[in-house]
Amino acid sequence: MAWSTGTQVDARFRHMMAHGTPVHAVATAMVDGRPVAVTGNEDDVRVWNLVTGEQIGCFPYRHDGAVRAVPTTVLEGRPVAIMGGDSAMSVWDLATAEQIGDTLEGVCAVATAVVDGRPVAIASGGKDRTVRVWDLAAGQPVGDPLHGHDGPMHAVGTAVVDGRPISIAIGEDGTTRVWDLATRQQIGEPLHGHDGPMYAVATAVVDGRPVAVTSGGEDGTVVRVWDLAAGQPVGDPLHGHDGEVYAVATAVVDGRPVAVTSGEDGTTRVWDLATRQQIGEPLEGHDLEVWAVATGVVEGRPVAVTGGEWGTVWVWDLATRQQIGNPLRGHSRDISAVATGVVEGRPVAVTSSCDDNTVRVWDLATGEQIGEPLQDPTGLVRAEATAAVEGRPVAVTRDKDRTVRVWDLTTRQQIGHALQVPTGSGVLVATTTVAVTGSKDGTVRVWDLATGQPIGNPQQGHTDYVQAAALGELEGRPVAVTGGHDGTVRVWDLATGEPIGEPLQGRTGWLRAAATTVLDGRQVAVAVSSDGTARIWDLTTRQQIGDPMRGHGKNISHAAIGVMEGRLVTVTGCHEGTVRVWDVATGEQVGPELVFPADVTALAVAPGGRLVVGFGHEVAVLSPR
Note the pLDDT of residue 258: 92
How confident is residue 363, by pLDDT bands cut at 50, 70 and 90? confident
Quote the percentage of the chain above a pLDDT of 90: 0
Q: What percentage of the chain has pLDDT greater than the value 70?
A: 80
Is residue 9's pLDDT more than 50? yes
CB atoms near residue 51 (< 10 Å): 14
Digit-coded pLDDT (tens) for 27-37: 788 888 888 88
How many CB atoms are closer than 10 A to CB 163? 6
User: Could you give the 3-state DSSP secondary structure of residue 127?
Assistant: helix
pLDDT tens profile 567-611: 888 888 887 778 889 888 888 888 888 877 778 888 888 877 888
The pair phi, psi for residue 126, each rounded to 5°, is 70, -115
The DSSP code for 7 is: S
Phi-psi region at 182: left, alpha or beta (left = phi > 0; alpha = psi -120 to 50) = alpha
Q: Which residue, 507, 545, 499, is CA-closest to 525? A: 545
pLDDT top residue among 428 and 98 = 98
Please give the mean pLDDT across all residues of the chain.
77
Instruction: Give me the residues paired with residue 105 across strands.
Output: 88
Whole-model pTM above 0.85? no
294 bridge partner residues: 305
Give the total residue count for the chain: 625
Over residues 227-272, the pLDDT tens digits come to 888 888 888 888 888 888 888 888 898 888 999 988 888 888 899 9
Report residue 394's pLDDT band, with 50, 70 and 90 as the boundaries: confident
**Structure confidence at residue 423 as a pLDDT band (50, 70, 90):** low
Q: Can you give the pLDDT at residue 600?
A: 85
Whether 18 shows a pLDDT value over 70: the answer reads: no
Res. 106 pLDDT band, cuts 50 70 90: low
Instruction: Return the minimum-mean-pLDDT range out of 86-95, 408-417, 444-453.
Output: 86-95
Rounded Cα gap, residues 50 and 36, in angstroms: 5
Query: Is residue 448's pLDDT more than 70?
Result: yes
Taking alpha carbons only, the member of 288, 215, 224 closest to residue 248 is: 215
| 312 pLDDT tier (thresholds 50, 70, 90) | low
Euclidean distance between CA atoms 432 and 304, whole angstroms: 49
Average pLDDT (40-67) is 75
Amino acid code (one letter) for 300: G
For 461-487, what is the mean pLDDT? 83
Q: Is 540 exposed, middle or buried (0-12, 13-18, 19+ CB in 10 A)?
A: middle
Q: Say if residue 14's pLDDT is above 60.
A: no
Can you give the pLDDT at residue 438?
81
Which residue pairs, CB below 8 angstroms and at least 24 apart, start in 60-63? 61/85, 62/90, 62/103, 63/87, 63/88, 63/89, 63/90, 63/103
Helix (H, G, I), strand (E, B) or coil at 274: coil
Predicted local distance difference test score (pLDDT) of residue 67:
72
| More confident of the two residues 51 and 323 | 51
Strands (E), 106-181: 109-115, 118-124, 130-135, 140-141, 146-147, 153-161, 164-171, 175-180
Residue that wins the pLDDT comparison between 276 and 137: 276
Predicted local distance difference test score (pLDDT) of residue 444: 86
**Range in 331-340, 527-536, 539-548, 549-558 the model is least confident about:** 549-558
